[in-house]
């Protein structure tokens, strides 16, 4: 599998965690007990299903291999394997942060991430 995984988050929530260098997840992540992530091929559908009209979003590209056994690939939407991080996301594992693009107010994957 590709060693890149992605987290969609609001810029504000992400930056609230920047001072400590760790991200503990969204409200849903905390409720479920792991940080929800997507592969590049899953990213577009995740964005449109759960974040379509949320403003000020970023996509964080993460090096999945950094986490070893804390990164689990589990069956989820449509029977696909999704990456789930069972622990906090350490900023040291972040490769790049992308700004989500918007067309007519609807979130879109940045051009450089489109397959």
**Mean confidence (pLDDT) of the chain:** 92
Domain count, the chain: 1
DSSP for 38-98, please give it: B-HHHHHHHHHHHSTT--SEEEEEEEGGGGGGGEEEEE-GGG-EEEEESSPEEGGGEEEEE
* Range(s) of the domain holding residue 25: 4-113
Helix (H, G, I), strand (E, B), or coil: what is residue 59? Answer: strand
What percentage of residues in the chain have a pLDDT greater than 90?
77
Residue 76 β-bridge partners? none
Task: Look at the pTM and tell me if it is higher than 0.95.
Answer: no
Assess contact for 54 and 16: CB atoms under 8 A.
no
Distance CA 109, CA 101 (A): 6
Q: What is the model's pLDDT at position 106? A: 87
84: domain CATH number is 3.20.170.20
* Half-sphere exposure for 33 (CA within 13 Å, toward CB): 1
Residue 2 reports pLDDT greater than 80:
no
**Span 15-56, pLDDT tens digits:** 988 888 899 999 999 999 999 999 999 999 999 999 988 999
């Amino acid at each position: 599998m590709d060693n890149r995984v992605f987290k969609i988050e609001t810029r504000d929530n992400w930056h609230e965690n920047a001072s400590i260098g760790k991200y503990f997840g969204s409200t849903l992540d905390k409720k479920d007990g792991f940080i929800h992530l997507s592969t590049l091929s899953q990213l577009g559908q995740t964005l449109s299903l759960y974040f379509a009209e949320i403003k000020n979003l970023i996509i964080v590209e993460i090096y999945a291999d950094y986490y070893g056994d804390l990164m689990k690939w589990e069956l989820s939407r449509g029977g696909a394997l999704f990456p789930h991080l069972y622990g906090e996301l350490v900023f040291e594992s972040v490769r790049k942060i992308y700004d989500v693009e918007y067309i007519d107010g609807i979130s879109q994957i940045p051009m450089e991430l489109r397959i």
